[in-house]
Structure 1
């Protein structure tokens, strides 16, 4: 049986500076050596993702683009589990030389933390 389609659509992206600023101003944080994840309840119906991958921290475009691809793919695979929050992912220096498996494990840990932190009260 084929896996269900989980596209990463344009509506699931943070695009404007004001959207990023809102998350930076009022957010919950989860950090490790590779990433700092900031989340804020969006009031919408879907989770949205914003990326902040600094050249100064990560290095050249090849490294930055690899990390962005891994983040987007991990988000796409976990989006059905995530609450309706705005998420900003900041890459930290540990991500620069980390292999793909380490990055994926780090992101999975962060997604679990986001689910716990932002779950609706029961």
Structure 2
């Protein structure tokens, strides 16, 4: 069975893509990070990441967090609705274990996938 890929089409690439999501978005948050989502006109979900230096000081920490989020998204992409998602890290995200991050992301993906969310 082929692994789900995280191809270019599944990424938010331009500042305009991000601004679009921020305009009218639904949020699902935790004390450690927030995911905002907005419906897109494509047939698949897309992912964007916002991991500020102010929140996670080291490049290693930021890259680690981004890798985990991408991996979670990659594994869930076929269950997610056609929305653009932006994951925003908070300071405490770096204190979580990989397992805790995956569990929290799963919960938030599920919350944002409910039909009542536009």
* Aligned counterpart, 1:60: 58
Moved more, 51-60 or 110-119: 110-119
Pair 1:6 & 2:1 matched:
no
Q: State the alpha-carbon separation in 1 of the partners of residues 104 and 56 from structure 2.
A: 16
Q: Give the TM-score normalised by structure 1.
A: 0.91
SS of the residue aligned with 2:12?
A: coil
- Shift of residue 52, structure 1, vs aligned partner: 0.3
Q: Runs of 5+ in structure 1 lacking a partner?
A: none
Which of residues 21, 24, 38 is equivalent to 2:22?
24
Which of residues 65, 75, 78 is equivalent to 1:77?
75
Structure 1 residue ranges, 4+ long, deviating more than 2 angstroms after superposition:
117-120
Distance change >3 Å, CA 119–CA 28, structure 1 → 2:
closer
Q: Deviations over 1:8-46 (max 9, x none)?
A: 100110011111011111100001011110000001101
Q: State the alpha-carbon separation in 1 of the partners of residues 47 and 75 from structure 2.
A: 13
RMSD: 1.5
